[in-house]
Amino acid sequence: MKRVEVGGRLREIFAAVLDLRPDEVIPSLSPDSCEKWDSLHHIHLVNAIQETFGISLDVEQQVEILTFELGEVIVWDALKAAGRASE
C-alpha cells in the first residue's frame, strides 16, 4: 500500500467516525480541536483503523494517535512492520 493511499483511507475513517467532511480532517486534528473526539470515539477510531488496514495496534500505539498526522505515522509504521508498505 502506498503512503498517499494510506492517508486517503485514514481521512475517510476519521471523517466517518468523527462525523466530519473529509476536508475538515486536517493534519493537526486532535481531541482538543474536535469536540466529538472523546475516549469512546477514540476506541471507535482505533477499531475502524485496525479493521480497514487489517493491522493490530498495541496499546501504546493506540494511545499515541493524538492527531490525524500521528495516526498516519503510526498506521504507516504498522504497515511497514507487516511488510505491506510500498514506498
Partner 1 sequence: MTMLRVEAGAFDQTSAVEHLLGLTTHQPEARLRLAELLDRDPSTSAYLKWSRRLPSFVESRRVALISSYTVETISPFLAVEAYLSGWRSSPSFIQYSNWQPALLDPSASLDGHDAAVLLLDDATIVNQRLADSAAATTSITDLLGAFRAKSKLPLFIGLAPSRPNRHAIGLGHEERVQTLSQIQWFNSAVSTFCAQDRATRLIDVPGALAACGSEAWHDADAFAATISYVNNKGYPALARAIARSVGGLLVPRYKVLVTDLDGTLWGGVLGEDGVEGISAGKGRVGKAHAKYQGFLRQLRASGILLAIVSKNDEPHVREAFETHAEEMAIGWEDFTAAKVNWKAKSENLREIADELGLGLDSFVFVDDSPVECEEVRHSLPMVTVIPVSPNVADLPDRILASRAFDTLTISREDHTRADQYRVERARKAVAQGSDIEGFLASLELKVALSAYDNGNADRILQLLLKTNQFHLTLERPSSVALTNRLKDGCELYAVTLADRFGDYGIIGAVELEVAPPSMMIRNLAVSCRALGRKVEDAIVAFAAARAREKRCERLVANYVTGPRNHVIEEALQRLEFTTHATGGAARVYALPVTPASPAWPKHVKNVIAVRAP
Residues that bind partner 1 (CB under 8 A): 12-13, 16-17, 19, 40, 43-44, 47-48, 51-52, 56, 58-59, 62
Nearer to partner 1, 4 or 59 (CB): 59
Question: Nearest distance from residue 44's CB to partner 1, in Å?
Answer: 6
Closest CA to 15 of 34, 43, 40, 32: 34
Question: Nearest distance from residue 87's CB to partner 1, in Å?
Answer: 27
DSSP structure class, residue 33: T
Which three-class secondary structure state does DSSP give residue 30?
A: coil
Q: Are 63 and 31 in contact (CB under 8 A)?
A: no
Question: Nearest distance from residue 43's CB to partner 1, in Å?
Answer: 5
